[in-house]
Amino acid sequence: MKMTKLVILIVMIALALFLVLPNLSWAADDGAGVYKAKCAMCHGVDLAGKPAAKIPSLVSDDAKKATDADLTDMIANGGKDKKAMHAFANKGVSADQVKMVIAYIRDAQKK
């Protein structure tokens, strides 16, 4: 009887962890979180950029025309101009995180 209760308790705890862990903020990065941490300070929370400072909008027609490969190169390596302020691949941002940021940008461009 005690063994049965122990097994049920362990199964319940495992099930609870299985359901809760993927939803914790530290369990997985999302594109919005990475964008807010790494990009929003320059490009803005609304992705509109800062034209006066020559920081481009990420929801403009030009940004919409950029391919995912172009955006990946700009974010990870600084693009054609090798802008050091980007080159996030050298700053600990993984390729998967770059993809998530691009997905976030593409989603914002649809709105």
* CA–CA dist 11, 5 (Å, integer): 10
CB neighbour burial string for 19-42, b if at least 16 within 10 angstroms, e if fewer: eeeeeeeeeebebeebbeebbeee
What's the token pair of residue 105?
């940008």
pLDDT digits (tens, 9 = 90+) for 32-43: 888 998 899 999
Q: How is 17-59 classified by DSSP, letter by letter?
A: HHHHGGGSTTT---HHHHHHHHTHHHH-TTS--BGGGTB--SS
Mean pLDDT to the nearest integer, 44-70: 91
pTM for this one? 0.69
Give the pLDDT confidence score for residue 60 in this predicted structure: 92
Domain range annotation of the chain: 28-109
Q: Which band of pLDDT confidence, cut at 50, 70 and 90, is reported for residue 3? A: confident
Nearest-CA neighbor of 106 among 69, 74, 48, 59?
A: 59
> Could you tell me the pLDDT band of residue 80, with boundaries at 50, 70 and 90?
confident
28-109 maps to which CATH number?
1.10.760.10
